[in-house]
Amino acid sequence: MSDAVANVLEVSELDTSYGRIPMLRGVSLNVPKGQVCCVLGANGAGKTTLVKAVLNMVKADKGTMRLEGKSMDSWPTHKRVESGIAISAAAVGTFHKMTVEDNLKMGAYYIDESLLRERLVEIYQSFPVLRERLKQRAGTLSGGERTMLAIARAVVNKPKLLILDEPSLGLAPIMVEEVFEIIRRLRATQMSILLVEQNAVKALSVASSGYVIQKGAIVFSGTADALGKSEFVENPVM
């Protein structure tokens, strides 16, 4: 990349392994600023491992990662979050025993209370469902509402990079539609999003560029249009 700042996240030559089993091999990926970048792949391809490596929940054996041009290889998870990476994933649950409000408050663990109020007003406008359930325990929400809560919690802090790991997982078609509507709205606010999905058609409807990951390696990268026409999306056995 000629202009380093044009990318929010740059991953180059990333290797990870679980014990002696190699997982990711030489993964390079760029998330351009203010755009949605999707990563497509089948189960076990290494999508979630990639996400975990970006947050340092899985240690990288090799490779470098940069956030807005700054090397973040030595940063622990909480520092990466503090620096502006937010995640919403199935592995990162909501806090069942706490109210929706407190869950949202946790999303803004690093901001001032005075800022929090206005951020939350914005959140209620984008997520009207949550506003009605503010004082309810998160454990009493439906699956769809919980996904909404997880996304809302991730964006309270206005992250530089939002990682969505399979937001459509386990949701009814109507809820999937709603989740992607939210992603479109977030895209309109110039938020940089790394969208990791199995649902290729849906993901490509919001993304501007994309990658395909297979058996731990990137096998295709390009614009969303090019990706949509490639064999990986046309061929149902991905």
Partner 1 sequence: MTDLNRSPDSSGSQVVRMPEKILTIACNLLVFTLAFLMLRLPYKFSLTLVALVIVALLYIERSGAINAVFSLYIRNKKLAALSAIIFMLAIPVLLARFRYQSHIAVMSVIYAMVCLGVNFQMGSANMVNFAPAAFMGIGAYSMGVVTVKLGVSPWFGLLASIILCAAAGLLIGLPTLRTKGYYLSLVTMALQLAFTQLIKNIPYIGGPNGLSGVKALNIGGFSLYKSYTFFGAKLAPHFFYLIFCLLTLTVLYYVAVRVSISRYGLALNNIAQDEIAANCLGVNVSRYKLFAFLIGAVFCGIGGALYASLTSFVGPNDFTFARSLIFICMVILGGMDNPAGVLVGAFLLTVITEKLRDFSDYAQLIYALLLVIILVVRPSGLIPKRVRNYCALFGRELLPSPQQQDAENKSS
**Terminal alpha carbon distance of the chain:** 28
> CA angle at residue 220 from 218 to 222, to 5 degrees?
125
Q: Does 59 bind partner 1 (CB under 8 A)?
A: no
Compare residues 58 and 204 and give the one whose CB is closer to partner 1: 58
d(CA 28, CA 26): 6
What residues contact residue 174 under an 8 Å CB cut-off, 6+ apart? none
* Residue from 14, 38, 53, 81 binding partner 1 (CB under 8 A): 81
> CA angle at residue 35 from 32 to 4, to 5 degrees?
15
Q: Does 78 bind partner 1 (CB under 8 A)?
A: yes
Q: Tell me how far, at minimum, the Cβ of 173 lies from partner 1, in Å.
A: 27
d(CA 112, CA 136): 24
DSSP string of 79-100, one letter each residue: HHHHTTEEEEETTS---TTSBH
* Residue from 73, 132, 177, 181 binding partner 1 (CB under 8 A): 132
* Residue from 13, 44, 69, 110 binding partner 1 (CB under 8 A): 110
Q: Does 129 bind partner 1 (CB under 8 A)?
A: no
Residue type, 185: R
Which residues, 177 to 216, sit near partner 1 by CB under 8 A? none
Q: Tell me how far, at minimum, the Cβ of 93 lies from partner 1, in Å.
A: 5
Per CB under 8 A, residues contacting partner 1 are 55, 57, 76-78, 81-82, 87, 89, 91-99, 101-102, 105-107, 109-110, 113, 116-117, 120-121, 124, 131-132, 134-135, 137, 153
